[in-house]
């Protein structure tokens, strides 16, 4: 299989699986206990927390391990909006991942005022418009660092500055789930209050993520119980997952320069071969190097995906949860594409295992699928 769906999930790096293995075997302890079996698990968990924190310039106490990007987004939005026992407002953007948009909708249905701002044809948000959407009862603004469908990188600094200039108490959350592999995150440079990450997007295991919560930010927990994660996320820890996540963060950080160069090169070879048949949705310089979101005029994306699958190429029509359904991507719709244009768009995403030869073979397969379509 030529795997060009790294934005959906990535293969686990061998060193990550190796680092996790002992915690699925003899180091199985519950990190919340007092005996030595537990303490060994607890030590590993806290080392993973320190490692993850250091890699984004955070303090260990600012890391909350979660069950993935979706949970991190839920905790950020619900946790802040409902903190202090009242219902604060949320402002977000029309192109966010469902984990943010559905959470905002949940909060709206339970009485929290919600604002959704639009984007320009490249998926970019106007700082003035974002700041204008913030009301006196807004508690959290959530804007993703890079889009999972198109790869659009959102310049966060002007957005954070515009929001904070008038509303210094409003917290700023960013979903950096897609961004981490390619973009260096430093919590002070980014100047945001909350950041969601998910391990399986950069060579870590599925089902584990983290939320960076800047010191001083108060969250209402979603999970109530034994009070783990300083009361912010109860439940027995996924020690193997946390170790796997921190290891994957370290490896992805060390590999980031190569990753950027190699995925950009693979992508540009891939696109060059398709240049007569496809058009990029957003210009290269505005997007993640590993994302190739293309429009094939007059072609139905679902048909093309099935043909590609038969030819051994894995790609995607959008976000994993939306693909398969005959809905039009909310991201492309917000960017102003017509339903026909949206239905003729496909996402190819490269990753840490991608090779140039693979990109070339995949482009050949796309050309073959275009010829062979019914
Ligand atoms: N946010 C973005 C931007 C994503 O791409 C994804 C995964 O598709 C998620 C959140 C959800 O992350 P997870 O799969 O870890 O729940």
Q: Per residue in 105-154, pLDDT tens?
A: 999 999 999 999 999 999 999 999 999 999 999 999 999 999 999 999 99
Of the residues 321, 336, 339, 355, only one is catalytic, namely 321
Atom of ligand 1 nearest to the CA of 199: 15
Q: Are residues 220 and 103 in the same domain?
A: yes
Percent of the chain beyond pLDDT 90? 94
Mean pLDDT calculated for residue range 86-92: 96
> What spacing in Å lies between the alpha carbon of 198 and ligand 1's midpoint?
7
Q: Are residues 25 and 159 in the same domain?
A: yes
> What spacing in Å lies between the alpha carbon of 72 and ligand 1's midpoint?
9
The sheet that has 89-93: what strands, in order across it?
A: 63-66, 209-213, 194-198, 171-175, 138-142, 89-93, 114-117
- Count of domains for the chain: 2
- Domain boundary residue among 208, 233, 254? 254
> What spacing in Å lies between the alpha carbon of 276 and ligand 1's midpoint?
32
Q: Are residues 342 and 270 in the same domain?
A: yes
Question: Does 217 qualify as catalytic in the annotation?
Answer: no
Q: Is 152 in the pocket of ligand 1 (CB under 6 A)?
A: no
Does position 323 have pLDDT exceeding 90, yes or no?
Answer: no
β-bridge pairing 138-142 and 89-93 = parallel
Q: Are residues 323 and 200 in the same domain?
A: no
Q: Are residues 187 and 303 in the same domain?
A: no
Q: Per residue in 19-74, pLDDT tens?
A: 999 999 999 998 998 899 999 999 999 999 999 999 999 999 999 999 999 999 99
Q: Is 238 in the pocket of ligand 1 (CB under 6 A)?
A: no
What pLDDT score was predicted for residue 320? 47
**pTM of the predicted model, to two decimals?**
0.97
CATH number at residue 58: 3.40.640.10
Pocket test for ligand 1, best of 10, 67, 94, 97 (most atoms within 8 A of CB): 97
What is the distance between the alpha carbons of residues 311 and 151, in angstroms, rounded to a whole number? 25
> What spacing in Å lies between the alpha carbon of 277 and ligand 1's midpoint?
30
Q: Are residues 167 and 239 in the same domain?
A: yes
Q: Per residue in 230-274, pLDDT tens?
A: 999 999 999 999 999 999 999 999 999 999 999 999 999 999 999
Q: Are residues 206 and 292 in the same domain?
A: no
Q: Is 17 in the pocket of ligand 1 (CB under 6 A)?
A: no
> What spacing in Å lies between the alpha carbon of 178 and ligand 1's midpoint?
8
- Domain boundary residue among 220, 237, 254? 254
Q: What residue spans of the chain are helical by DSSP H?
A: 14-20, 36-55, 69-81, 98-109, 127-133, 156-166, 187-190, 239-254, 256-273, 301-310, 330-334, 339-342, 356-372
Q: Are residues 187 and 301 in the same domain?
A: no
Structural domain span for residue 213: 14-254
What pLDDT score was predicted for residue 373? 57
Looking at the DSSP assignment, which residues form a beta bridge with residue 280?
Answer: 294
Q: Are residues 21 and 109 in the same domain?
A: yes
Q: Are residues 310 and 300 in the same domain?
A: yes
User: In Å, how far from its chain's centre is CA 339?
Assistant: 25
Backbone angles phi, psi at 295, to 5 degrees: -115, 130
Query: DSSP letter at 170?
Result: S
Q: Are residues 239 and 266 in the same domain?
A: no
What is the distance between the alpha carbons of residues 1 and 361, in angstroms, rounded to a whole number? 11
Q: Are residues 198 and 279 in the same domain?
A: no
What is the distance between the alpha carbons of residues 324 and 373, in angstroms, rounded to a whole number? 18
Pocket test for ligand 1, best of 7, 12, 68, 69 (most atoms within 8 A of CB): 69
CATH number at residue 333: 3.90.1150.10
- Domain boundary residue among 239, 254, 269? 254
């Amino acid at each position: 299989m030529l795997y060009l769906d790294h934005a959906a999930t990535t293969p686990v790096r061998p060193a990550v699986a190796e680092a996790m293995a002992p915690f699925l075997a003899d180091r199985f302890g519950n990190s919340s206990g007092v005996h030595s079996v537990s303490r060994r698990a607890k030590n590993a968990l806290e080392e993973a927390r320190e490692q993850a924190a250091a890699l984004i310039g955070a303090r260990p106490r600012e890391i909350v391990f979660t069950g993935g990007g979706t949970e991190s987004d839920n905790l950020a939005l619900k946790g802040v909006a409902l903190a202090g026992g009242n219902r604060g407002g949320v402002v977000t953007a029309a192109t966010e991942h469902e984990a943010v948009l559905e959470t905002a909708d949940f909060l709206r249905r339970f009485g929290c005022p919600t604002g959704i701002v639009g984007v320009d044809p490249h998926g970019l948000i106007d700082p003035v418009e974002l700041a204008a959407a913030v009301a006196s009862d807004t508690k959290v603004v959530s804007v993703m660092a890079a889009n999972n469908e198109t790869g659009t990188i959102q310049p966060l600094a002007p957005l954070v500055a515009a929001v904070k200039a008038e509303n210094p108490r409003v917290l700023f959350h960013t979903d950096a789930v897609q961004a981490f592999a390619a973009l260096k995150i430093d919590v002070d440079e980014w100047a945001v209050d909350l950041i969601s990450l998910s391990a399986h997007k950069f060579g870590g295991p599925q089902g584990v993520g983290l939320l960076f919560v800047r010191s001083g930010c108060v969250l209402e927990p979603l999970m109530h119980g034994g009070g783990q994660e300083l009361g912010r996320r109860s439940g027995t820890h996924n020690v193997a997952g946390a170790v796997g996540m921190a290891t994957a963060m370290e490896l992805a950080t060390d590999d980031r320069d190569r990753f950027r160069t190699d995925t950009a090169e693979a992508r540009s070879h891939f696109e060059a071969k398709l240049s007569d048949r496809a058009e990029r949705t957003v210009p290269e310089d505005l997007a993640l190097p590993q994302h190739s979101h293309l429009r094939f005029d007059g072609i139905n994306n679902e048909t093309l995906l099935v043909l590609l699958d038969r030819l051994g190429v894995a790609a995607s029509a959008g976000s994993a949860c939306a693909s398969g359904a005959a809905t039009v991507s909310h991201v492309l719709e917000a960017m102003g594409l017509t339903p026909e244009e949206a239905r003729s768009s496909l996402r190819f995403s490269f990753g840490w295992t991608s090779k140039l030869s693979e990109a070339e073979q995949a482009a050949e397969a796309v050309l073959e699928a275009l010829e062979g379509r019914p």
